[in-house]
Amino acid sequence: MRRPFFCGAVLFALGIWLGDLLRHGRVPGPGAGMCAGWSPSPGIGALIILAMAALSCLAGTVTVIVPRFCFTRLPERAFGVTVLLLGLLAYEVASLRLDLWDRILPDGERITIRGVITGEPRVSGGYAQAPLRLEDGARVLLRWRPAGGAVGNGAKTGPREGWRWEGPRYGDVAVVRGRIVRPRPSLNPGEFNMRAYLARQGITRVVYLGDSAGPGVFQRVGRSGSLFVSMLSRLRDRLISAASAGLDRFQADILSMLLFGKAGSGSPVAGPEVESFSTIGVQHVFSVSGLHVTLVAAVTSSLCQYLRRGAVARAAIVALACTGYSVMSGGTPSSLRAAIMAIMACGPRGDPLNSLGLSALFLLVRNPYLLFDIGFQLSFATTYAIIFMVPLLTGLSQASCDPSGARNRGRSILIHMAATSLAAQAGSAPLVALYFGTVSPLAVVANLAIVPLVEAAVMTAMVSGFLGIVAPGLNLPINLGNSFILQGAIKVSSLLASLPGAQINVSVPAVAVAVYYWAFFILGPAHGHLAMFRVRRRAMATLALIISVVVAASFTARRLLDPPLRVVFAAVGQGDSILVIAPDGKTMLIDGGSGGGGDSWDAGDRVVVPLLRRYGIRTVDVVVLTHPHEDHVGGLVSVMRKVGARYVLDPGLPHPSQQYREFLELVEAGGAKYIRARRGTSIRLGRSASVTVLHPPPEVSPANGIYPAASLNDSSLVLRLEHGNVSFLFAGDIEAAGECLLLQGTLKKATVLKVAHHGSASSTSPAFIEAVDPKYSVISVGSNPFGHPSPGTIHRLERVGSKVFRTDLDGAVIMESDGRKIRVSAPRLKVGGMDETYSLSPSRRREGRRIPPMD
């Protein structure tokens, strides 16, 4: 059997895929259950059609791959079926274990538990966090804010000590008291799914040490864990300390991320310089992968050869070095994959495809959920592309080149680097577009410019680190030289990121990505061997591709020919944010939720910007700020900084908040046209949708005494959106006084009402509801101490027959309309959608469990 590990990995992964399909009743192609691939579920018929297409593609894949790479005899076929069933069984066992702990562990309570920290603490969203394994085997994520707000107590103490972490560490046995909650799921298109991310690590709960309900307790009572891992952790800390001696904190953290995938200070590294790496598609240099492990293996092998070690000893030392480096880097899927492939390459007949299969089997047997992890998918898709495309591209490029001579050898090296970069982008770009909604056209060029600098910085840091441990002080001149290399990489990255078109926002359907990879995996192994296959096999593979393309086209044809108006009421917690996409693509964003002052949760960065990218919005046509309270303007700061707008509508009322001032500064800096909106201001969103400002009247201003300066709610912009026979009324945060002014005018009925002020008792009076008479009402609300939404408000809406949706219970509420009907979908609804004749009991929804607060 040729390449048994590759065949076994494909079949084992297929078993996991089928297990997920059987368990959840959905097709989990690329992106299923992932952080950014959420989209409203299609109907059952569409699922069946897509499943048939996927099975057709699978048949084509097996037809092409199996005769060349795999088994030809009956026992081997039986072995293949067994491996597939083992994959399905492994997925079911992992799912049952998670279900068990999810049922047993409490939710929303303060508890006292005992366990051992099984991983290195990391920082996310202002919290330090580390996995904690309880005595009964369950795993939770421990999160805390260190005293003084300095995560990791990052004080520079000298070249040998670096930044010392004084909080909980790997191997600590501790008694912990805190509040235990379920992780937040993905409630919006494009939002990172923390619940799914932690579930893939076997974690179903988060324990907070200290919150508004009371302080937490962390009492260290002993030590446990692997001595080998502890020794490697101390070695890593000393290497980071020696390699970063004499550097400023920013460069030291960048170097630590390049070496081990985490900042040496324990705090996340942010800023435009770091974001530029992501913009141009070279963010992979900050995650330990084949680039890093190859350098470790090459340096170790060269050292063994210099010391005249035998082949067996050299292979053992390289294997130990690669394994240790992977452990020091956190044992991520990409680092473990690279380590296994490097170890197998030391053998006499190392086959890269077989090594890739072995590493995939090793990881999936340990954790079947890794199949749906974006890091796992990117790592293996990229490596697979490099294995098959680099020989093809270099062969085509060098067919007419004489490899002899220094000039041609240099050309060959350059061609190989370009081919590797192009192949890596071919393997990873569709997944990046699916999950993050971006494409980096400069990625190939950027990799050619940045990767050599990164390799030089990593090699120099390794030499400096070991030299600093053996002979402290001698490494300082080396670090000074490395500082110039780091500065060069950062400047080149920033320069490329500043070029027009360095990053493009796109909207890529999951079906399109699935079709791409099915074709990729069919044609990849078949390249160079098509002549050996019979016409019948090629015809079956072609037929599978045709079926996939037809199915993908059927999913998108209706929207391309007759696109609907789409209105997304985003779930941003206690705040408002509404995205409107007109049929011809014009966009309007109303408010942006709360901002990220200090360590607070930034709805703009975490929800709104990913939402815009999910729909392929490069620049918002119109941004509307209803009023400058923090839960409306805060998230718009991130939107204006990362996406921008052409027009900005604002009531123009003075407010002293820092976030409002920053918002106005970004509006001016970005060149958006600023409009002080009042009643009568109107906007055309393309050919078929129009927006009219109904409130406030021209004379309204807190400064002239009509409203108290302390009350901006009644000065909110109130908008009416019309599309055919369907209309939306966005009521901002108006209360009784604002409603009275609207009722004095010509307030018309509306199909959908965005309920004012998060459903508070001071808004949405009976007279206002009677005048609007909404068929659907949406309350944008989150966890809050104000009692929003008021039961009285909900009762008044239900009494007139309005169907009530709440973003804290239903997640993002997405409404699509052709001007006659409205289709509603939301993550928490049991159905994929409904029209005007659909009957849904709001009271049953209210009995549901409240979504956990923002982390």
What's residue 42's pLDDT? 37
Q: Is the pLDDT of residue 530 over 80?
A: no
> CB–CB of 277/283 below 8 Å?
yes
Conformation bin of residue 22: beta by default, left when phi > 0, alpha when psi is -120 to 50: alpha
> Tens of pLDDT along 754-799?
999 999 999 999 999 999 999 999 999 998 888 899 999 999 999 9
Q: Which helix (H) or strand (E) holds 440?
A: none
From 1-5, 136-140, 198-202, 807-811, the region with the lowest mean pLDDT: 1-5
Report residue 538's pLDDT band, with 50, 70 and 90 as the boundaries. Answer: low
Question: 3-state secondary structure string, 471-519?
Answer: CCCCCHHHHHHHHHHHHHHHHHHHHHHCCCCCCEECCCCHHHHHHHHHH
Average pLDDT, the chain: 79
What's residue 303's pLDDT? 84
CATH of domain 105-225: 2.40.50.140
Strand partners, 559: none
What's residue 362's pLDDT? 93
Which of 441 and 79 is assigned the larger pLDDT? 441
What's residue 842's pLDDT? 33
Strand partners, 439: 504
Indicate the domain borders of the chain.
Answer: 105-225, 227-371+451-502, 565-846
Could you count the other beta carbons within 10 Å of the beta carbon of residue 228? 11
The CA distance from 482 to 468, in Å, is 14
C-alpha distance from residue 544 to each of 63, 468, 539 (Å): 10, 58, 9
Mean pLDDT of 397-401: 55
Considering the chain, what percentage of its residues have pLDDT values greater than 70? 75
> CB–CB of 154/163 below 8 Å?
yes
Collapsing DSSP to helix, strand or coil, 822 comes out as strand
Extract the tokens encoding 139.
């795993």
From 157-166, 225-234, 605-614, the region with the lowest mean pLDDT: 157-166
What's residue 533's pLDDT? 39
The CA distance from 673 to 677, in Å, is 12
What's residue 755's pLDDT? 96
Strand partners, 206: 141, 181
Could you count the other beta carbons within 10 Å of the beta carbon of residue 474? 11
Q: Is the pLDDT of residue 114 over 90?
A: yes
Shortest CA distance to 126 belongs to which of 210, 63, 53?
210
C-alpha distance from residue 142 to each of 91, 118, 166 (Å): 26, 11, 16
> CB–CB of 395/389 below 8 Å?
no
Collapsing DSSP to helix, strand or coil, 124 comes out as strand
Helices (H) and strands (E) in the chain, counts: 26, 24
What's residue 180's pLDDT? 92
The CA distance from 133 to 645, in Å, is 47
pTM equals: 0.77
The CA distance from 190 to 604, in Å, is 12
Which of 567 and 190 is assigned the larger pLDDT? 567
What's residue 391's pLDDT? 81
What's residue 150's pLDDT? 36
From 72-81, 246-255, 387-396, 532-541, the region with the lowest mean pLDDT: 532-541
Q: At what angle do helices 249-260 and 227-243 cross, to 10 degrees?
A: 140
Extract the tokens encoding 244.
């970063």
Which of 250 and 265 is assigned the larger pLDDT? 250
> CB–CB of 659/592 below 8 Å?
no
The CA distance from 547 to 538, in Å, is 14
What's residue 854's pLDDT? 36
Strand partners, 691: 683, 721
What's residue 505's pLDDT? 77
Q: What is the DSSP letter of 379?
A: H
Report residue 647's pLDDT band, with 50, 70 and 90 as the boundaries. Answer: very high
Q: What is the CA radius of gyration of the chain?
A: 29
Shortest CA distance to 757 belongs to which of 741, 745, 739?
739
The CA distance from 672 to 670, in Å, is 6
The CA distance from 422 to 412, in Å, is 15
Which of 653 and 556 is assigned the larger pLDDT? 653
Strand segments, DSSP code E, in 353-416 are none
Q: What is the DSSP letter of 183?
A: P
Q: Is the pLDDT of residue 522 over 70?
A: no
> CB–CB of 770/816 below 8 Å?
no
Strand partners, 127: 124
Q: Is the pLDDT of residue 514 over 50?
A: yes
Shortest CA distance to 711 belongs to which of 772, 651, 754, 664?
651
What's residue 151's pLDDT? 36
Judge if 105-225 and 565-846 fold alike in CATH terms: no
Q: Which helix (H) or strand (E) holds 62?
A: helix 44-69
From 38-42, 553-557, 720-724, 798-802, the region with the lowest mean pLDDT: 38-42
Q: Which residue has the tokens 């007949």?
A: 349
What's residue 703's pLDDT? 53
Q: Is the pLDDT of residue 607 over 90?
A: yes
What's residue 557's pLDDT? 55
Which of 600 and 832 is assigned the larger pLDDT? 600
Which of 746 and 32 is assigned the larger pLDDT? 746
The CA distance from 423 to 830, in Å, is 41
Mean pLDDT of 434-451: 87
> Tens of pLDDT along 359-392?
999 999 999 999 988 889 989 988 888 888 888 7
From 44-48, 101-105, 282-286, 486-490, the region with the lowest mean pLDDT: 44-48
Q: Is the pLDDT of residue 307 over 90?
A: no
What's residue 542's pLDDT? 60
Q: Is the pLDDT of residue 627 over 90?
A: yes
Question: 3-state secondary structure string, 607-627?
Answer: HHHHHHHHCCCCCEEEEECCC
CATH of domain 565-846: 3.60.15.10
The answer for residues whose C-beta is within 8 angstroms of residue 45's C-beta and 6 or more apart is none
The answer for residues whose C-beta is within 8 angstroms of residue 529's C-beta and 6 or more apart is 68
Report residue 161's pLDDT band, with 50, 70 and 90 as the boundaries. Answer: very low
